[in-house]
Structure 1
């Protein structure tokens, strides 16, 4: 290899490393925006048939996605702040102590269980919870600010990708060492998986929020709509999911002395929603989206996508539910390409 070629390769690697270092704080946001754009680019394509302005269509695409995903979240946050602002610290302390005492009295008929419960909750005092609450609120405030900033950059990058998406895609195809057909095949695999994740997540959110809202409606709760929406949004978080909603609700019922009502909500949330819908029905939803909704079904096992969501969440946090399946699809597409070529 000639000296000039070696120098060019070295300079290219150096410039590439410099670019990554320069934009390292925005790489995840750029990646998330790119993956969302890939999964929802059909919105932009449909708008292109209606309006001729590429700028307007890009703005409208971002607006539709923002309206669909962010507005329900801000609605819940606003109502939640309004709800909790009515409480005083003394009421919260009394609620915690009364809930513990009520549950202990209920378990008194089962001495062994009551003893275990007492040992597990001996450190759960109103003072300790107040201290935990202060630390948690500080952490939530910091994370919320970071999330808002990230969402702002994601929306900005999303507009850029919608506006220049087709040109960027063609340019990447030309840069790829593979031929256009092979590169397009890999891209289609990733797009298909992202669409499956998107549609399956929307269906999962709607089903869990709807069934939880219908169930608690019969208990005469005032905030059925808010709790249903909040439960649906919480369903996006793997592992924890709706527990972020039903556990405080069960505690509130115990505080009111409605022990059997609290047990009913817990059993319904754990067994029907948590197990049946989230673990049994979700892979079926993924399979339905793949074979019924996608124009070209993917030859990929639904369980792989299901576990890719969990793996992505454990590695990258919330946005990992998008990144995990994308990485998995990219790897599988390359394995299949290698098999076809060699």
Structure 2
């Protein structure tokens, strides 16, 4: 029978040095943590397909990993380029039409609308603040319109910079993904070896991370695509550029609480003000019932997956992840919550006798 392992002072020194070195290493890779995490998540999703390719060429692990990364590039980049170019075209057209509308008296027409006049009258009657000056509003909008061209130039430069950053991060992600696919078994074995857990505990933690990572990506992505498609279709029927505003709805769906209402609600008000009340009611109803129901039912269903997290925990993991980490928090948040729940379950198993004794006292 083997003697129980006893931690000595030199072991604590080694653990402290290892913790310090790990923190320093994290600081080195922290600027690139987003592409690294995405490579890890994509490797989990893509690994079954890579295994089939690796089985065709068992003696060429480098070549199979390169082919997998190349295939993934075509699967991601070509659709993105097509959609992105269409979005740029529709967005440019919409911006030009908006500029024309602003400079040719569109604001004055809206402010003179009977509904708007009544609304201003109610605000002036019941609001404790100073009444709105419509001429000041018109002058402010005119000033904004004169700066519209410069703002478009700045936005175009920002889009170009974001596209460049995206390309750089994508290439870095592919570089990391190559090694994750090629050395998958060795990496998993190394992680299992250094974790101070039993094999069953390691299986519980790693399986939960894998399941939640997959469900977080698929849940957020498929929900955004479904809401973007449904919302873009309704916007197209209502006379707006469908692909552009559908894409904006897909991005807006990632924002908790308000979500796609940031897009379809102002569009419905605009249609109401220009006299197209039928389309305004249709767009508002479609946005609230159809697009909203997709977020309420599809996201929790996909993100719950095989994990034990309730819908409430999923909600707070998403909004907390977004607040702390940004968009990548859509993945980080659920993973952190899921690992925490698994650790609590392991704690409950390890200290079952103690907890039972505490319950009886």
The aligned counterpart of 1:188 is 207
Structure 1 residue corresponding to 2:319, chosen from 310, 322, 325? 310
Structure 2 residue corresponding to 1:169, chosen from 188, 191, 196? 188
Structure 2 residue corresponding to 1:282, chosen from 299, 314, 317? 299
CA root-mean-square deviation: 3.9
Q: Residues 32 and 3 (structure 1 numbering): CA distance in 2 closer, same or farther, change over 3 Å?
A: same
Structure 2 residue corresponding to 1:80, chosen from 90, 99, 102? 90
Asked if the contact 2:220–2:330 (Cα under 8 Å) also holds between the matched residues in 1, the reply is no
Structure 2 gap segments, 5+ residues each: 1-6, 59-63, 352-361
The aligned counterpart of 1:126 is 141
In the alignment, is residue 92 of structure 1 matched against residue 111 of structure 2? no
The aligned counterpart of 1:242 is 260
Q: CA deviation at 1:50?
A: 5.2
Asked if the contact 1:309–1:324 (Cα under 8 Å) also holds between the matched residues in 2, the reply is yes
Q: CA deviation at 1:230?
A: 4.0
* TM-score, normalization by structure 1: 0.76
Structure 1 residue corresponding to 2:169, chosen from 135, 153, 156? 153
Q: Which range is displaced more, 241-250 or 109-118?
A: 109-118
Residue-by-residue CA offset, 1:67-93 (whole Å, 9 max, x unaligned): 56x346523432234424644745334
Specify the structure having the higher radius of gyration (Cα): 2
Residue-by-residue CA offset, 1:246-271 (whole Å, 9 max, x unaligned): 356346536754355335423432x2
Structure 2 residue corresponding to 1:325, chosen from 334, 337, 341? 334
Residue-by-residue CA offset, 1:47-102 (whole Å, 9 max, x unaligned): 4355652321233234424456x346523432234424644745334466146415
Q: Residues 56 and 143 (structure 1 numbering): CA distance in 2 closer, same or farther, change over 3 Å?
A: same
Q: Residues 8 and 169 (structure 1 numbering): CA distance in 2 closer, same or farther, change over 3 Å?
A: same
Asked if the contact 2:111–2:117 (Cα under 8 Å) also holds between the matched residues in 1, the reply is no
SS at the partner of 1:319? Answer: helix
Q: Residues 249 and 155 (structure 1 numbering): CA distance in 2 closer, same or farther, change over 3 Å?
A: farther
Residue-by-residue CA offset, 1:141-175 (whole Å, 9 max, x unaligned): 54762564155324423442343341322211112
Structure 1 gap segments, 5+ residues each: 291-296
SS at the partner of 2:327? Answer: coil
Higher RCO (Cα < 8 Å, 6 or more apart) = 1
* TM-score, normalization by structure 2: 0.73
Paired positions, count: 330
Q: CA deviation at 1:190?
A: 1.3
Structure 2 residue corresponding to 1:224, chosen from 228, 234, 242? 242
